[in-house]
Chain A
Amino acid sequence: MTDTLSQTPDAPRKSASLHTQDARTKKRNAAEARFKFYGLTAIAIGLFFLVVLAVSIVRSGLPAFTQAVVNVEFTLTKEQFDDAESQLFKTKAYSGFFNAALVERLEASGIETEFDEKAVERILGKTGGTIREYFRENQGELGSPVAFSLATSSRVDGYLKGRVTRENMEDSRFLQRADLDLVDDLQAAGILKQAFNWNFITGADSGVDNPGGAGIGASVVGSFFMMLVVLFLSLPIGVAASIYLEEFAPQNRFTDLIEVNISNLAAVPSIVFGILGLAVFIQFMHLPQSAPLVGGLVLTLMTLPTIIISTRASLKAVPPSIRDAALGLGASKMQAVFHHVLPLAMPGILTGTIIGLAQALGETAPLLLIGMVGFVARGYPDGFVAGFTEPNSAMPAQIYTWAARADVGFYEKAWGGIIVLLLFLLTMNIIAIILRRRFERRW
């Protein structure tokens, strides 16, 4: 409109036709076409990086879901069981019995490759823990053959996955080149093969010399309990705070101050909350160390500002006419807010919550100081309440720990962990989308 006004009325108007474009229209159209092109390029670049990221994660992570295993039937006698149980290093005794059984089996099968017991030891992983656990729980099966499927050492696993080759390996006490011949024989005989690594999905962390035994399951449970704490604390507190600030609080300096502080809090580096967590929750309130409860509390502090800001934004987005109508029909302020405004703001609140939770799920830094990063291999908690208080790790912390370990087997596990983390996040988002759909109302 302003364009027509600025034109002087005396200036001779060019005759314009809708069928032929004049230079200015062409220029404007070209600018629009260019802008569309820029937009498309930006999206294409974004998609390209997304694809690169997804492909590299899947490519590096998929090997974590398979594991080279040795399938052997193994009989443990009552005497051997008692003997092993009487020792200090029990799992080593069990490994010894298992190795001896495997050597016997190999000799009987007439494998031509020469080998000694040391070679078998190098090929097999840390088998003792699994065997001991099984026979302690099933003492009735002592003396009868039991089929075991046990993880091999990380280098043999790498050999089957193509990570370790005869060319790039060096003879060491971990594996010798000659052992690979035996591995080939075992593979030909069907004793050693790749299998789906259930333990990776269900297990807990393992020592640095035992990548085959490491699993992410326990830390998934840890993350789950942390998210429960975050959800059930930050959602009600955050929503209550924003409703008060948005609908009831008087506009004065004090509320302004609070608003500024909440906005600032959202930008505080997450490690700061970790320090706070250590000082307040552990050293002052004496809550347990390394517990998902404390992790959840720390992450709640971190998530609250995000939820408050997004909730206030969605409350603001509800048209004032709805409030006015409710009040005009005689509803109290509280009724107007809870019966009319809040349901309409719900989708926005859910979006904010899910963004906050997703952020919290991926945080490692605040957990560093409260003892959830490191070697935490307690396994599954014994019950619901114990899930909050027993030491556990969280998924990002577990991934970080694995990525820092010397054995390459763990690096692969870290990528696999990222896949599980992304799946967890995806599930959370899908639940949020379903909830949003149900709450969505139009006016």
Chain B
Amino acid sequence: MSLVKLTTSALAIAAISATTAAARDQVQVAGSSTVLPYASIVAELFGDNTDFPTPVVESGGSSAGLKRFCQGVGTEHTDVANASRKIRDKEIKACAENGVTDIIEVRIGYDGIVFASQKSGPAYTAFTQSDIFNALAPKVMVDGKLVDNPHTKWSDFNADLPAEDILAFIPGTKHGTREVFEEKVVAAGCEATGAFEAMMAVGMSEDDAEDACLEVMSDGRAVDIDGDYTETLASIDANANGIGVFGLAFYENNTDKLKVATMAGVSPSTETISTGEYPVSRPLFFYVKKAHIGVIPGLKEYASFFVADELAGPDGPLANYGLVSDPELSATQASIAAEETMN
């Protein structure tokens, strides 16, 4: 066998495949690692239940997924972006600049964010948003004054909490979960403790005060986790005094290792989240490129299969895995059927 022959045959194969490349026959999805488990369940069932090939679902975080989604129209770009937060105006603009104008937004349900710690670790059983704010914010209220955070132990500001060094593993900035954590926990704590008003009182504008309320200290007590929840779990395993931020579904799959804390007196469960009692929850989305419907076989079918009552409904496999099903599912189904885009 001569080298020349081998090389030419290899190049020939490459050339053949390059010509067939235009005909991509599977749906290509990328985005949030929180949505990934649900999307993979749906993708497997979609392959099992229809004659379309199983879609490919990639992870990487909401922002990364939307960025790739917005890179353009054509089979070399992804068809669907999973996101654990709503698409931002900035991202819609970036999409439009690359010709991605018609986007269908699909809300698949809700997910709770829970605070959990090592099962045999210190008794972190009840938190409020103020506790988290007092522990992690750079400026907090002490005796009615806004000061640099003096707390080192949880018991410093709440006698009910254990006297342990503050250590929290929180989602990194590329995760959509981080945004929810900042807005629904840190910022809520900021307002509840009166720090927000105090900031306004010292002459900060409302916008600046809001931004300052979202800040988390970077001195090592709050550790950004850029990977998946398994990474958070490993960190909790190694640090008995640490608390971690998890999705409800992940916690429910690991109840033998983790114990969950209540938030503002409500323990997280699919019931308390669907009624809105549990305060830290967020909707999960995926975004569909309308221009690809009819080009990529099975794209519209995938979207409508995802939100069908049998799957995303309260008795479906998604709810069984931990998704809190959306009471307005039928509206979502109708909007996919009509291919309604965002304006």
Contacts and interface: CB of A to CB of B under 8 A. Distances in A.
Interface of A: 87-92, 128-129, 132-133, 164, 168-170, 172-174, 206-210, 213, 229, 232-233, 235-237, 239-240, 282-283, 285-291, 293, 297, 368, 371, 373-379, 385, 388-389, 391, 403-408
Interface in B1-33: 3-4, 6-7, 9-10, 13-14, 16-18, 20-22, 24, 26, 28, 30, 33
Contact of A172 (B4, B36, B252): B252
A407 B3 CA distance: 48
B343 interface: no
Contact of A378 (B13, B26, B30, B58): B26
B21 A287 contact: yes
Contact of A406 (B18, B48, B250, B320): B250
Given A207-B44, A373-B59, 19 more contacts: A87-B310, A91-B45, A91-B49, A133-B48, A206-B44, A213-B44, A236-B7, A240-B3, A285-B18, A286-B22, A286-B75, A288-B24, A291-B17, A371-B56, A374-B59, A377-B44, A378-B47, A404-B59, A408-B254
B21 A286 contact: yes
A379 B54 contact: yes
A291 B316 CA distance: 32
Contacts of A207: 37, 40-45
A208 B28 contact: no
15 contacts: A170-B255, A172-B255, A207-B41, A210-B41, A229-B14, A233-B7, A236-B6, A286-B76, A368-B60, A373-B59, A377-B40, A378-B47, A403-B230, A404-B228, A405-B230
Tell me the interface secondary structure of chain B in the complex: helix
Contact of B3 (A209, A239, A374): A239
A91 B47 CA distance: 11
Nearest to B16: A385
Contacts of B56: 289-290, 371, 374-376, 378, 391
Contacts of A377: 40, 43-44, 47, 54
Nearest to A90: B49
A287 B18 contact: yes
A406 B24 contact: no
A90 B47 CA distance: 11
B308 interface: yes
Interface string B270-313: 00000000000000000000000000000000000100101100
A164 B77 CA distance: 43
A388 B49 contact: no
Complex A-B, nearest 10 residue pairs according to Cβ-Cβ distance, in ascending order: A374-B58, A207-B44, A89-B310, A375-B40, A406-B253, A375-B57, A232-B10, A207-B41, A208-B37, A129-B48
Interface in B49-88: 49, 53-54, 56-60, 71, 74-78
Interface of B: 3-4, 6-7, 9-10, 13-14, 16-18, 20-22, 24, 26, 28, 30, 33, 36-37, 39-45, 47-49, 53-54, 56-60, 71, 74-78, 227-231, 249-250, 252-256, 305, 308, 310-311, 316-317, 320-321
Nearest to A122: B320
B43 A170 contact: no
A287 B17 contact: yes
A210 B44 contact: yes
A89 B41 contact: no
Contacts of B20: 288, 389
Contacts of A172: 252, 255
Contacts of A405: 37, 230
Given A207-B45, A232-B9, A374 B320 contact: no
Given A375-B43, A375-B56, A385-B17, A88 B256 contact: no
Contact of A404 (B6, B48, B227, B256): B227
- Of residues A172, A385, A389, which shows the largest number of chain B Cβ atoms within 10 Å of its Cβ? A389
A173 B317 CA distance: 12
B35 to A, nearest CB: 11
Contacts of A133: 48
A90 B51 CA distance: 12
Contacts of B256: 164, 168-170
Nearest to B75: A286
Contacts of A89: 45, 49, 308, 310-311, 316
Contacts of A285: 18
A311 to B, nearest CB: 12
Contacts of B26: 378, 391
Nearest to A388: B17
